[in-house]
């Protein structure tokens, strides 16, 4: 299966770079609205710091497992459905009513980010020759930095306003979730894994099979997290 070319860049690489932009934007979203989150949940500075700490720890612990998934499964499915997973947890932050719900959602967000990052980086490595990988990763870091700047700036600006009675910081999280879900679907549907371009037979079936496997894992982690949350409130 051949990927399409847009403006001199393959559609697969374009979508992968967009996923990298959103990954970095999602990471910087919460620190940009610490003030508004503190007011909404009556959280102290240490509580706010714990939100980022929880996400980082969960992401670090899940990264080795995510790296194994990237080796065994179809990577566009890993990236696309992992993006959908972090989008669901980002939306959960927007609808959180308590600090505990927000903290749990950030922990689940760390799982989604851990699933995406190793698969994304290995995809870039396999898409270029050895002599071109340094430049490729340089561009990847560049677009990621642009995403971080755009995410934090947009959230900061929106946080100062209410939209149709909805606090701007909550709307920023919800919009991020919507855009991430869209990019995740596009990656899963249109991106071609460079590892599988040689073999034209069985790609479609592998994509579906592996996609359902990763979707099941995402659903399992998400259900487990919400089960823990419900248990704490009973």
CA separation for the pair 15, 145 (Å, rounded): 16
CA angle 72, 61, 170 (to 5 degrees): 100
Which CATH code, of 1.10.443.10, 1.20.1250.20, 3.10.129.10, 3.40.50.1220, is assigned to 20-232? 1.20.1250.20
Q: What per-residue confidence (pLDDT) applies to 233? A: 47
Q: What per-residue confidence (pLDDT) applies to 201? A: 41
Q: What per-residue confidence (pLDDT) applies to 128? A: 75
In this structure, how many other beta carbons lie within 10 angstroms of the beta carbon of residue 81?
Answer: 27
**176-179 contacts: CB < 8 A, separation 24 or more?**
176/22, 176/25, 176/26, 176/29, 176/87, 176/90, 176/151, 177/87, 177/88, 177/90, 177/91, 177/94, 178/87, 178/91, 179/22
Provide the residue ranges of all domains of the chain, joining segments of one domain with +.
Answer: 20-232
pLDDT (tens, 9 = 90+) of the chain, 234 residues, equals 445 554 445 777 788 888 888 888 888 888 888 888 888 888 888 888 888 888 888 888 888 877 777 777 778 888 887 888 888 888 888 888 888 888 888 888 888 888 888 888 788 877 777 777 788 788 878 888 888 888 888 888 887 788 888 888 888 888 889 988 888 888 888 877 776 654 444 444 444 444 445 545 555 555 555 454 444 444
Q: What per-residue confidence (pLDDT) applies to 207? A: 47
Dihedral-angle region of residue 96 (phi above 0 means left; psi in -120 to 50 means alpha; beta otherwise): beta
Kindly list the distances between the CA atom of residue 82 and the CA atoms of 188, 200, 225, in Å, as whole numbers in the listed order: 10, 25, 16
């Amino acid at each position: 299966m051949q990927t399409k070319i847009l403006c001199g860049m393959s559609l697969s690489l374009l979508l992968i770079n967009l996923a990298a932009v959103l990954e970095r934007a999602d990471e910087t979203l919460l620190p940009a609205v610490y003030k508004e989150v503190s007011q909404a949940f009556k959280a102290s500075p240490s509580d706010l710091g714990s939100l980022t700490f929880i996400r980082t720890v969960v992401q670090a612990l899940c990264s080795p497992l995510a790296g194994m998934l990237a080796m065994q499964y179809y990577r566009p499915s890993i990236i696309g459905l992992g993006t959908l997973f972090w989008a669901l947890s980002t939306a959960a932050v927007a609808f959180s009513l308590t600090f505990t719900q927000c903290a749990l959602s950030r922990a689940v967000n760390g799982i989604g980010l851990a699933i995406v990052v190793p698969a994304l980086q290995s995809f870039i490595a396999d898409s270029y020759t050895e002599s071109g990988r340094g430049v490729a990763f340089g561009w990847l870091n560049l677009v990621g930095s642009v995403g971080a700047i755009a995410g934090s700036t947009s959230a900061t600006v929106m946080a100062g306003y209410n939209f149709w009675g909805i606090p701007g910081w909550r709307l920023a999280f919800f919009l991020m979730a919507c855009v991430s879900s869209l990019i995740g679907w596009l990656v899963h549907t249109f991106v071609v894994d460079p590892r599988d371009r040689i073999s034209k037979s069985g790609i479609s079936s592998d994509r579906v099979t592996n996609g359902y496997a990763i979707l099941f894992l995402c659903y399992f982690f998400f259900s487990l997290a919400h089960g823990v949350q419900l248990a704490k409130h009973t």
